[in-house]
Amino acid sequence: MALLTYQRAAGLAGITLFIFLLLGYTTYNTRSADTIPFSYEKQHSAPTVSNPHSGASYSSSYTSPGSAENWQFEPARDAHNYGLSPEQCDAAFPDMWAELDRAVAHRKKVGIITPADVKIGWKIDGIIRAMIYDRQLFILNARGARRRDYRQRTIAVLQSIQRAISAYPGEIPNIEFSFVVDDGAYFAVYENNTSATTWALTREPHDQNLWLMPDFGFYSWEGPAGEYTALLRAIEEDEIPFDEKDKRAIWRGAKSPAGPVQVRTDLLKVSKGKSWADIEEIEWGGDSEPKNLVPMSKHCRYMFPVHTEGHTYSGRLKYLLNCHSLTVIHKLHWGENFHHLLIPSGPNQNFIQVERDFSDMHWKMEYYLQHQDEARRIADNSIKTFRDRYLTPAAQACYWRKMFQAWREVSFEPSYYMTQEEYEKEQEEEKQKEREAKLKELQEEEAEAAGKELEKGKERAKDAKTRSDATGTNTALRSSSDKKIPRGMPYETYLLLESYEESPWYDS
Ligand SMILES: *[C@@H]1O[C@H](CO)[C@@H](O)[C@H](O)[C@H]1NC(C)=O
Ligand SMILES: *[C@@H]1O[C@H](CO)[C@@H](O)[C@H](O)[C@H]1NC(C)=O
């Protein structure tokens, strides 16, 4: 059954690829690759608006739809507007771009991103190479994105990008990029490569080459949160007046998502038997859901939701920060695209920061329980900053478009077509890389067995070479030498694939 499904999927991919190439052969036309004139830097020259009273022209007496003049972000009206103009994005979310500014500055220092940098051969799985061209999203390649969770994350990221493009009528730069849906971008890499440039969900402070994209959880996270706007609605419905909240700290989680995670163990230890704590480990594995499970939106009924990192970052923080509560967060190591907005002290304090071992948790809880006015001020700051501004779907759509621009400023204009020769070279490179990696794994595991595999691998490589030479010759006979092939598979086609194969491009 599994095999049948696989064969069917593979067959479908093959057919799609065939049709796709066929279209490529018949519909190409050459087009010069114009440089897109745009600047990621803020425009310093304000657009000239003629005086409405001068009677100059009819249209000038109206503020254009995307203008930020006399416009203010109102969450009730704008939180789900995915198509705010760049001026509105800047006006509504002035402190949103710190991660992009950092990444751009780094690139300006070390040199701009080249086509070689966006190849994905360095990562074993969970990576996708894509392109936006003339406002259309294309998939160029994918490696190990078929695992159920990776597939869901991939679709969530792509769909968020698609939404940010299609909701905005203005200019979107042509760009080529890769992104990783693995928890850690540099987990499961070949040759210990922890310096590749890619878009990632999270990064460690020293990872200067990673560009933080909005988390897939801002679109949908099956299981813990579901679709983001549905969760926001549930939170709104479950929200209660601050004074009526359960005045305890709430946390539910697995102690060890993958190996020992010290912060969670420490939290359980520190809070054990305390009157201020409703903190419990969840043990999965039974037939039914664990009894002590608390749905995400119900965390908002507590005054002190607690956040902990897991294997890397933990995607729950953005949900907890939507509560009108005081989120308790240990000092974080893994960053997301909004973490710089967390303010631990001062008049704009918007959460409670504790040590990584939670050693100061007890006295901080006692302090805020006794200083409810201060607690309330922090909770008010939190919803002002997070729920009603930077964690709105509108803000994340703005971030995506700003990211396209920022990336384009320090990278290259991708080409829409490739030649037959380039196509074959790339395919062969990819396959060779995969073969080498598999052989290497085998070698490490079992030297003797690997020896035989190596021979087989060499034969296979020779076969493949012969095959590709043959195809090359055929193509040369069939077509004139300047045939061009579109490099990308439209995102819509990719979605329609029964895509549990390694890469949408390979049919074997
Ligand atoms: C990768 O790192 C591991 C552990 O640090 C080391 O044993 C191995 O030799 C490294 N491999 C390469 C190709 O550098
Ligand atoms: C890591 O991968 C990137 C992208 O393919 C490449 O540009 C870079 O040279 C690689 N670095 C190392 C140390 O292998």
Q: Which residue has the least CA distance to atom 14 on ligand 2?
A: 193
Burial class (CB in 10 A: 0-12, 13-18, 19+), 156: buried
Average pLDDT over residues 409-420: 96
Q: pLDDT, tens digit, for every residue of 105-152?
A: 999 999 999 999 999 999 999 999 999 999 999 999 998 888 888 999
The average pLDDT across 474-492 equals 72
pLDDT band at 291 (very low <50, low <70, confident <90, very high): confident
Convert the pLDDT of each residue in 29-64 to its tens digit: 333 333 333 445 544 444 433 333 433 343 334 456
* Dihedral over alpha carbons 411, 414, 420, 426 (to 10 degrees): 30
Q: Are 388 and 235 in contact (CB under 8 A)?
A: no
The percentage of residues in the chain with a pLDDT greater than 90, rounded to a whole number, is: 63
Residues 327 and 304: their CA atoms lie apart, in Å, by 5
Q: Percent of the chain, pLDDT > 70?
A: 77
How close is the Cα of 192 to the center of ligand 1, in Å? 6
Higher pLDDT residue, 144 or 320?
A: 320
H runs (alpha helix) in 189-301: 228-238, 262-271
Pocket test of ligand 2: the residue of 193, 198, 211 to mutate, having most ligand atoms within 8 Å of its CB, is 193
In this prediction, residue 147 carries a pLDDT of 82
The residue whose two tokens read 């043990």 is: 283
Please report the DSSP string for 99-125 in residue order. HHHHHHHHHHHH----GGGG--TTBSS
pLDDT digits (tens, 9 = 90+) for 154-187: 999 999 999 999 999 999 999 999 999 999 999 9
Say yes or no: CB of residue 134 within 6 Å of ligand 1.
Answer: no
Report CA 473 to chain centroid distance, whole Å: 41
Instruction: Give the ligand at the shortest distance from the Cα of 123.
Output: 2
Please say if the pLDDT value at position 84 is more than 60.
Answer: yes
pLDDT at 431: 81
Instruction: Give the dihedral of Cα atoms 269, 273, 274, 280; nearest 10 deg.
Output: 60
Beta-bridge partners for 281: 253
- Say which residue, 426 or 471, is predicted with more confidence: 426
pLDDT tops 60 at residue 95:
yes
Ligand 1 in reach of 191 Cβ (< 6 A): yes
What's 138's DSSP letter?
Answer: E
* Residues paired with residue 139 on neighbouring β-strands, in sequence order: 130, 489
DSSP for residue 280: E
Residues 162 and 226 sit within 8 Å (Cβ to Cβ): no
CA 326 to ligand 2 center in whole angstroms: 42
Sheet holding 246-253, edge to edge: 277-281, 246-253, 302-307, 328-330, 352-354
Bridge partners of 304, per DSSP, are 249
Distance from Cα 121 to the centre of ligand 2, integer Å: 9
Mean pLDDT of the region 195-213: 98
pLDDT at site 42 = 45
Q: Please, which residues have CB within 8 angstroms of residue 32's CB and are 6 or more apart in sequence?
A: none
Mean pLDDT of 91-118: 97
- Closest listed ligand to the CA of 440: 1
CB-based contact 150:216 (threshold 8 Å): no
Ligand nearest to the CA of 191: 1
Distance CA 178, CA 196 (A): 10
- Domain segments of the chain: what residues? 46-92, 230-393
Of ligand 2's listed atoms, the one at least distance from the Cα of 198 is: 4
Q: Please give the distance, rounded to the nearest whole angstrom, from the Cα atom of residue 451 to the centre of ligand 1.
A: 21
Q: Is 444 in the pocket of ligand 1 (CB under 6 A)?
A: no
Mutation choice for ligand 1 from 192, 193, 441, 443, CB with most ligand atoms inside 8 A: 192
Ligand nearest to the CA of 194: 2
- Number of Cβ within a 10 Å radius of residue 255: 13
Residue 449 pLDDT greater than 80, yes or no? no
**Residue nearest atom 4 in ligand 1 by C-alpha distance:** 192
Res 381: pLDDT: 98
For residue 424, which of 465, 463, 461 has the smallest C-alpha distance?
A: 465
Q: Is the CB of 192 under 6 A from ligand 1?
A: yes
Determine how many CB atoms are found less than 10 A away from the CB of residue 468. 15
Return the minimum-mean-pLDDT range out of 275-284, 327-336, 371-380.
275-284
pLDDT at position 426:
83
Q: Which amino acid is present at 96? A: M
- Evaluate whether 416 touches 31 at the Cβ level (below 8 Å): yes
Give, using CA atoms, the residue closest to atom 12 of ligand 1: 191
Gap between the Cα atoms of 211 and 188, Å rounded? 18
Q: How far is the CA of 178 from the centre of ligand 2 (A)?
A: 13
Q: Which two tokens stand for residue 233?
A: 């609605």
pLDDT of residue 258: 53
Q: Whose CA is nearest to atom 9 of ligand 2?
A: 196
Calpha distance 142→145 (Å, rounded): 6
User: Among the atoms of ligand 2, which is closest to the Cα of residue 191?
Assistant: 14
Residue 256: pLDDT band (50, 70, 90) is low
Proximal ligand: closest to the CA of 437:
1
Residue 260 has pLDDT above 60, yes or no: no
Q: What is the mean pLDDT of the chain?
A: 83
- For the cut 50, the answer to whether the pLDDT of residue 229 exceeds it is yes
Does the domain formed by 230-393 have CATH 3.40.50.2000?
yes
Most confident of 10-19, 44-53, 378-387, 473-482: 378-387
Query: How do residues 371-401 score in pLDDT, each as one tens digit?
Result: 999 999 999 999 999 999 999 999 999 999 9
Q: What is the mean pLDDT of residues 215-236?
A: 94
Output the pLDDT for position 158. Answer: 97
Question: Ligand 1 mean position to 445 CA, how many Å?
Answer: 15
pLDDT at 27 over 80: no
Distances (CA, A) of 167 to 82, 221, 436: 6, 22, 43
What pLDDT sits at residue 55? 37
Task: Locate 36 and state its tokens.
Answer: 């897109």
Q: What is the pLDDT of residue 412?
A: 98
Written as one string, the DSSP assignment of 144-209 is S--SHHHHHHHHHHHHHHHHHHHT--S----EEEEEE-SSSTTSSBGGG-----EEES-B-TT-TT
pLDDT in the model for residue 279: 97
Ligand 1 centroid–CA 120 distance in Å is 20
CA 329 to chain centre: 22
Protein residue whose Cα sits closest to atom 5 of ligand 1: 192
pLDDT at 473 over 90: no
CA distance 186 to 339: 20
Average pLDDT, stretch 419-434?
Answer: 84
